[in-house]
Amino acid sequence: MPEYPFLKGHGTENDFVLLPDHDGTVHGDLPAEQMSARVRALCDRHAGIGGDGVLRVVRDGDRWFMDYRNADGSLSEMCGNGIRVFARHLVEEGLADPSEPIPIGTRDGVKTLLVDGDLITADLGEPTVLGESKVAVPGHAWVARHVDMGNPHAVAFVDALEDAGHLLDAPEHDAATYPHGVNVEFVVRRGDRHVAMRVHERGSGETRSCGTGAGAVMVAAAVADGVVGPPPEDVAYRVDVPGGTLTVTWTSGNRILLTGPAVVVARGTTDL
């Protein structure tokens, strides 16, 4: 059987399998069903490499494109931690200059990343603050803020993160509001402009971190703190996740900037 190169990386322990497919011929010619099955096999933590998703590294014209799929093989518009790992790979392979902004295409448009040593900042774009919905787990239900970060999020403030339970199954949510599923964040306050969260990501289950989710949480927290629309000056929040700490800044220009570490930890070949 043919063997394909892969890398493994993570951003605050949100982990991914990277498939360097620079000319788009190794994996890009696979039918969608076959590619989804390959992603599920790669992300299997017992029989595969293990990961919350797969990042296929593809050249698209004059820039790189992040073809991202969740662990269940489904397509996703954007991944805030994944795109930082993607940028780290480009820099380490000499495919991008860390002294310059790095544009990367996604299904949610082109994102710009800045590398500063161990930290990478991703411009996630403009948030969209929508209405309220409800989410529930066995024994608990909450009102949640709907925040769109290019992908949908439902942010619920809770008394204790443990109230969310095991999160192996997707929390109940309003299917009319989220017809394609939703990422659900459970949040507690830790201090001034300091929150902690857990998340169930659609297509992946509970993960150790979610970058776009941290962005949505920061926006929901800032709105609850009285920020209406883009703030008059940049506002930054610390967001603790099970896998570490992220900094999220809502700029006066209405951009969400996600800053945190991203590392590549392994590379090899696989016949999956």
Q: What is the pLDDT of residue 29?
A: 67
Q: What is the pLDDT of residue 25?
A: 77
Q: What is the pLDDT of residue 1?
A: 58
Give catalytic residues, as residue numbers.
79, 210
Q: What pTM was estimated for this model as a whole?
A: 0.95
User: Residue 89 burial by CB count (10 A; 0-12/13-18/19+): exposed, middle or buried?
Assistant: buried
Tokens for 133?
Answer: 């919905």
Query: What distance in Å separates the CA atoms of residue 87 and residue 103, rounded to the nearest whole number?
Result: 9
**DSSP β-bridge partners for residue 16:** 9, 53
Query: Per-residue DSSP letters for 76-108?
Result: -S--HHHHHHHHHHHHHTTSS-TTS-EEEEETT
Give the domain ranges of the chain. 4-124+261-270, 128-254
Q: How far is CA 218 from each of CA 78, 90, 163, 246, rounded to the nearest angstrom?
A: 17, 28, 20, 10
Query: What distance in Å separates the CA atoms of residue 196 and residue 189, rounded to the nearest whole number?
Result: 6
Q: What is the pLDDT of residue 22?
A: 82
128-254 architecture in CATH?
Roll (3.10)
Q: Are 262 and 29 contacting, i.e. CB atoms less than 8 angstroms apart?
A: no
Q: Count CA atoms closer than 13 A to 200's CA, side-chain side.
A: 22
Tens-digit pLDDT string for the chain (272 aa) = 578 999 999 999 999 999 998 887 777 667 888 999 999 999 999 999 999 999 999 998 999 999 999 999 999 999 999 999 999 999 999 999 999 999 999 999 999 999 999 999 999 999 999 999 999 999 999 999 999 999 999 999 999 999 999 998 999 999 999 999 999 999 999 999 999 999 999 999 999 999 999 999 999 999 999 998 899 999 999 999 999 999 999 999 999 999 999 999 999 999 98
Superfamily of 4-124+261-270 according to CATH: Diaminopimelate Epimerase; Chain A, domain 1 (3.10.310.10)
Q: What is the pLDDT of residue 24?
A: 79
Q: What is the pLDDT of residue 168?
A: 87
Q: What is the pLDDT of residue 26?
A: 74
Fold: same for 4-124+261-270 and 128-254 = yes
Query: What distance in Å separates the CA atoms of residue 44 and residue 241, rounded to the nearest whole number?
Result: 23
